[in-house]
Amino acid sequence: MAATIGIQETLCVRATITGDATGGDVYTMVRAGQVCDAWVICTATSNGGTVTVLNASIAITDAMACATNKALIRAGTIDDASFDLAVGNALTFTTNGASDRGVVCVEMLTPLCRISTVA
C-alpha cells in the first residue's frame, strides 16, 4: 500500500447565486485545494432547479437539486478526476435555470505540509 500523509487545512468557499447563473458564476482560486464536499441551501422555489460545481467547465459534483426554497442538498458525487484545483483555476457554479437561487458551499482541503510518503 502506498500513501502520502500530510497536514491539511479546511477552506470553505461560499457563493450566493442571486441572478442567472446558467452561464456560470466564476471564482478564481487564490489557493490550491481539493474539493471534499459541497452543498446548496436553496433560497427560491424553481421547478427543476439544479446547481453544479465545476473546475472551469468540467463537473466536480453531480447536479444538486435546487428546486425547493429552504432545502439543503448535498452533492451525491465528487469526481476525483476534476476535484483538484490549482491557484488560478476557475471554480465555477452553474445552474440549470435562470431563476435557480441558492447559497453554495464548497469545502476544500488545502495542503499545509507533507509529513511522509509510505510505500
19-40 pLDDT, tens per residue? 999 988 999 999 999 999 999 9
The Cα 81–Cα 79 span in angstroms is 5
Structure pTM? 0.88
H or E element in which residue 4 lies = strand 3-17
Residue 8 has pLDDT above 90, yes or no: no
Structural domain boundaries in the chain: 19-111
Terminal CA-to-CA distance of the chain, rounded, Å? 6
User: 105 near 14, Cβ under 8 Å?
Assistant: yes
**C-alpha neighbours within 13 Å on the C-beta side of residue 10:** 7
48-88 pLDDT, tens per residue? 999 999 999 999 999 999 999 999 999 999 999 999 999 99
Residue 6: what pLDDT?
A: 74
